[in-house]
Amino acid sequence: MAGPVRASEEGLIARYFAPLAGPGADGLRDDAAILTPAPGHDLVLTADAVVAGIHYFPDDPPASIARKALGVNLSDIAAKGAVPRGFLLTLALPDDWTEDWLAGFSAGLGEAAAEAGCPLLGGDTVRSGGAALIGVSMMGEVPSGAIVRRNTARIGDRICVTGTIGDAALGLRLRLEPEAAWAAGLDPALRAMLADRYLHPRPRLAAAEAVRRHATAAMDVSDGLAGDLAKMLGAGRSASIDVAAVPLSEATRRARAAEPGLIDAVLTGGDDYEILCTVTPERLDAFRAELAEAGIALAAIGAVTAGDDPPRFAMADGAARVFGAGAFSHF
Amino acid sequence: MAGPVRASEEGLIARYFAPLAGPGADGLRDDAAILTPAPGHDLVLTADAVVAGIHYFPDDPPASIARKALGVNLSDIAAKGAVPRGFLLTLALPDDWTEDWLAGFSAGLGEAAAEAGCPLLGGDTVRSGGAALIGVSMMGEVPSGAIVRRNTARIGDRICVTGTIGDAALGLRLRLEPEAAWAAGLDPALRAMLADRYLHPRPRLAAAEAVRRHATAAMDVSDGLAGDLAKMLGAGRSASIDVAAVPLSEATRRARAAEPGLIDAVLTGGDDYEILCTVTPERLDAFRAELAEAGIALAAIGAVTAGDDPPRFAMADGAARVFGAGAFSHF
pLDDT digits (tens, 9 = 90+) for B206-264: 999 999 999 999 999 999 999 999 999 988 999 999 999 999 999 999 999 999 999 99
| Predicted local distance difference test score (pLDDT) of residue A323 | 87
Residues within 8 A of A (CB atoms), B 159-188 only: 169, 172, 176
Whether residue A3 is predicted with pLDDT greater than 60 in this model: the reply is: no
Scored b (16 or more CB within 10 A) or e, B149-177 reads bbbbbeeebbbbbbbbbbbbbbbbbbbee
CA angle B31, A131, B67 (to 5 degrees): 60
- Residue-wise pLDDT for A171-204, tens only, equals 999 999 999 999 999 999 999 999 999 999 999 9
* Mean of pLDDT values over A61-75: 98
Q: How crowded is residue B204: how many other Cβ atoms within 10 Å of its Cβ?
A: 23
Q: Where are the alpha helices (DSSP H) in B56-207?
A: 62-79, 99-116, 167-176, 188-199
- Percent of all residues in chain A with a pLDDT value above 70, rounded to a whole number: 95
| Predicted local distance difference test score (pLDDT) of residue B90 | 97
Chain A to chain B, count of Cβ pairs less than 8 Å apart?
A: 260
* Contacts with B10 from chain A: Cβ below 8 Å: 231
pLDDT band at residue B7, thresholds of 50, 70 and 90? low
* Mean of pLDDT values over A303-315: 95
Name B149's bridge partners: none
- Percent of all residues in chain B with a pLDDT value above 90, rounded to a whole number: 89
| Predicted local distance difference test score (pLDDT) of residue A195 | 97
| Predicted local distance difference test score (pLDDT) of residue B330 | 47
Whether residue A6 is predicted with pLDDT greater than 80 in this model: the reply is: no
- CB of B26 within 8 Å of a chain A CB? The answer is yes
* Contacts with A92 from chain B: Cβ below 8 Å: 49, 51, 92, 133, 135
- CB of A46 within 8 Å of a chain B CB? The answer is yes
Name B246's bridge partners: none
Nearest in space to B223 (alpha carbons), one of B89, B83, B48: B48
Whether residue B1 is predicted with pLDDT greater than 90 in this model: the reply is: no
| Predicted local distance difference test score (pLDDT) of residue B129 | 87
* Mean of pLDDT values over B201-206: 97
Whether residue B6 is predicted with pLDDT greater than 60 in this model: the reply is: no
Domains and CATH numbers, chain B: 9-143 (3.30.1330.10), 158-322 (3.90.650.10)
* Contacts with B129 from chain A: Cβ below 8 Å: 51-54, 130-131
* Mean of pLDDT values over A255-260: 96
* Mean of pLDDT values over A10-21: 90
Which letter does DSSP use for residue B81 in this model?
Answer: T
| Predicted local distance difference test score (pLDDT) of residue A149 | 97
Mean pLDDT of chain B: 94
- Residue-wise pLDDT for B57-71, tens only, equals 999 999 999 999 999
Whether residue A318 is predicted with pLDDT greater than 90 in this model: the reply is: no
* Mean of pLDDT values over A109-114: 97
Whether residue B53 is predicted with pLDDT greater than 90 in this model: the reply is: yes
In this prediction, the answer to ipTM > 0.90 reads yes
Lowest mean pLDDT of A89-103, A112-126, A314-328, B91-105, name the range.
A314-328
| Predicted local distance difference test score (pLDDT) of residue A193 | 98
Lowest mean pLDDT of A54-63, A112-121, A308-317, name the range.
A308-317
Mean pLDDT of chain A: 93
- CB of A89 within 8 Å of a chain B CB? The answer is yes
Of B6, B129, B150, nearest to A130 by CB-CB distance is B129
Contact A330, A270 (CB under 8 A): yes
pLDDT band at residue B4, thresholds of 50, 70 and 90? very low
Strand order of the β-sheet with B217-221 is B217-221, B274-279, B158-162, B298-306, B237-242, B312-314, B320-322
State phi, psi for A259 to the nearest 5 degrees.
Answer: -145, 90
Whether residue A152 is predicted with pLDDT greater than 60 in this model: the reply is: yes
